[in-house]
Amino acid sequence: METKNTLFKQDGIHVHPLKVLITGWCILGMMTMKKYLAELLGTFVLVLIGTGSAVIAGSYIGFLGIALAFGFSLLVMVYAIGHISGCHINPAVTIAMLVNGRISLRSAGVYIVVQCFGAILASLVLLSIAAGLPGFDLSVSGLGQNGYGIASPAGYGMIACFIAEVVMTFLFLIVILGATSKEAPAGFAGIAIGISLAMIHIVTIPITGTSVNPARSIGPALVVGGTALSQLWMFLVSPIIGCLIAAYTWKYLFGQDRTRG
C-alpha cells in the first residue's frame, strides 16, 4: 500500500515530495550562488590586473600596455565565466541588461553588490603587493584610481571628463549589447567586448584613467581615500548615464531584445 505522502515511485523507490522540494531548492541555490561568485571573481580579476598593470608595471608598459591589460582581462573572463553569469563584472553592464530584460531586478541587485565587493577586494590585494616595494607611498602612487581636474592624468577638467565617461560607456555598452545579441556570430562576443574596452582605455586613460565601470572606480577610491573618494561621484553617475542611454537606444532603435542567454 502506498503511503499518502509519497509523490511517485521511481525504479521501485518511493520519493517523498519534501525531499524533491529540498533537492530542487538546493540545486537552484547552488546555481544562483555560482553566478554571484563568478561575478565577484571576474570583477576581482579585471580590477587587480587592470589597475595592477598601472600601479606595478605602468612605467614599463605605458598607457597602451595598461589599456591592453584591461581589455585582455575582460576578454579572458568572458570565456571563463560568461557561461556561468554572463560576465557582466560591471554595474553599468548589469543595469543595461536589466533595462533590456536580460536579468531580473533581484539578481541585478546582488550582481552589483558582489561586483563592488570584488573590486574592493582586488584593491586591497593590490595594496598589499605594491606596499612590498621599498619607498611605496599610497598617497603618491595610488592604486589606479580615477580622477578629474588635478587628479586627471593629463589635467582634463571636470566637464570634459564627464562627457568622456558618458560617451565611452555608451559606446562600450552598445558593443556589449550587440555582440551578445542573437544575430551576432556565436563565440566571438568576448573578442569584440575585450577589444572595445582596450580601445576605450587607449583614448580615455589620459583623461580620467578610464572608468566606464562604477565598481572599478569604487575599489581603488575606497582604499586610497582623499581626492579619489571625493571625486568618486563622477565615476558612479557618468557610467550609469552612459549605460542607460545605450540600453534605451538598443531597446527602442534596434528592436526587442534578442540575446542568446
Domain-embedded: residue 37: yes
| pLDDT tens-digit series, residues 147-166 | 999 999 999 999 999 999 99
Contacts of 162 (CB under 8 A, 6+ apart): 148, 234, 238
Mean pLDDT across the stretch 228-232? 98
Report how many domains make up the chain.
1
Average pLDDT score over the chain: 90
Domain-embedded: residue 2: no
Quick one: which of 69, 21, 73 has its CA closest to 42? 73
Domain-embedded: residue 260: no
CATH number at residue 80: 1.20.1080.10
- Domain holding 244, by residue range, is 8-253
| pLDDT tens-digit series, residues 234-256 | 999 999 999 999 999 999 998 55
Measure the CA–CA gap between 9 and 46, rounded to whole angstroms. 50
**Report field, pTM of the whole predicted structure over 0.85:** yes
| pLDDT tens-digit series, residues 19-52 | 544 554 455 456 689 999 999 999 999 999 999 9
Domain-embedded: residue 152: yes
Domain-embedded: residue 49: yes
> Is residue 98 a contact partner of residue 108, using CB atoms and an 8 Å limit?
yes
Domain-embedded: residue 258: no
Domain-embedded: residue 197: yes
User: pLDDT: is 97 or 257 the higher one?
Assistant: 97
pLDDT of amino acid 138: 95
Domain-embedded: residue 105: yes
Give how far Cα 85 sits from Cα of 28, 112, 219, Å.
14, 12, 21
